[in-house]
Amino acid sequence: DVKVTQSSRYLVKRTGEKVFLECVQDMDHENMFWYRQDPGLGLRLIYFSYDVKMKEKGDIPEGYSVSREKKERFSLILESASTNQTSMYLCASSLAGGSYNSPLHFGNGTRLTVT
Amino acid sequence: GQQLNQSPQSMFIQEGEDVSMNCTSSSIFNTWLWYKQDPGEGPVLLIALYKAGELTSNGRLTAQFGITRKDSFLNISASIPSDVGIYFCAGQLYGGATNKLIFGTGTLLAVQP
């Protein structure tokens, strides 16, 4: 079974802090994604990566950056956390794009509260 | 960014009832997917649809890929308490290096025993 592990289930940070959310997958997937989940808005894509050291902006990249130094690890960085970044963050991975048989596999999420 | 319109936003039903939810878009998609998120967990894929008009079942779940390629429906028959969760539709267009998905806004399902 594919396992996507997010390092923290809950995080509480102060406004202005630099925040790192870590995600590791164990299935050698090429693609990794960071989503944000908010009630009534569904899942919105922040950033994704299709290879080591490659990254592309999703729909809501403002205020975030990412790092992918190793294939199995994809980090989401909040350079200066703000209260409007309080949310559930979901990491996902999949095989290389264009394949019919490459669904997203999600982690269990990190609930971040910025006070 | 683009989002899919998913309805209803929430449903509160009795065990044994059937459930229907749908998703519509202004754009066409090559693939429609339905995910379920159990409380405290990440979404898990339930059903994938690859062809316009396709009707696919997975146990008590049945989903259809709309003929216009702009909508999809999910039905759950004879609901049980473990059906509780948030259901998301997702549309996918192929192209480029990744299989980027557009997600719906979600349907929260509560089932009373």
B106/A41 Cα distance (integer angstroms): 8
pLDDT on residue A101: 53
Strand ranges in B9-94 using DSSP code E only, listed in sequence order:
10-14, 19-24, 31-37, 44-49, 55-58, 61-65, 71-76, 85-92
Q: What is the model's pLDDT at position A99?
A: 47
- Tens digit of each residue's pLDDT (9 = 90 or more) over A69-112: 999 999 999 999 999 999 999 999 988 754 445 778 999 999 99
| pLDDT-above-70 percentage for chain B | 92
- Closest partner residue to B96 (CB to CB) among A4, A94, A97 is A97
3-state DSSP call for residue B104?
strand
Per-residue pLDDT of chain B (113 residues; tens, 9 = 90+): 567 899 999 999 999 999 999 999 988 888 899 999 999 899 999 999 989 999 999 999 999 999 999 999 999 999 999 999 999 999 987 655 456 788 999 999 999 99
Instruction: Name the residue among B99, B103, B105 with its Cβ closest to that of A102.
Output: B99
| Cross-chain CB nearest to B101 (options A41, A96, A104) | A104
Beta carbons of A107 and B95 less than 8 Å apart: no
Q: Is A87 within 8 Å of A19 (Cβ atoms)?
A: no
CA distance B98 to chain A (A): 4
Q: Is B38 on the interface with A (CB under 8 A)?
A: no
**In angstroms, what CA-CA distances link A31 with A4, A25, A50, B100?**
12, 10, 4, 10
> pLDDT tens for residues A35-79?
999 988 999 999 999 899 999 999 999 999 999 999 999 999 999
CA–CA separation, B109 vs B8, rounded Å?
9
- Do B43 and A58 lie within an 8 Å CB cutoff? no
Interface contact A108-B40, CB threshold 8 A: yes
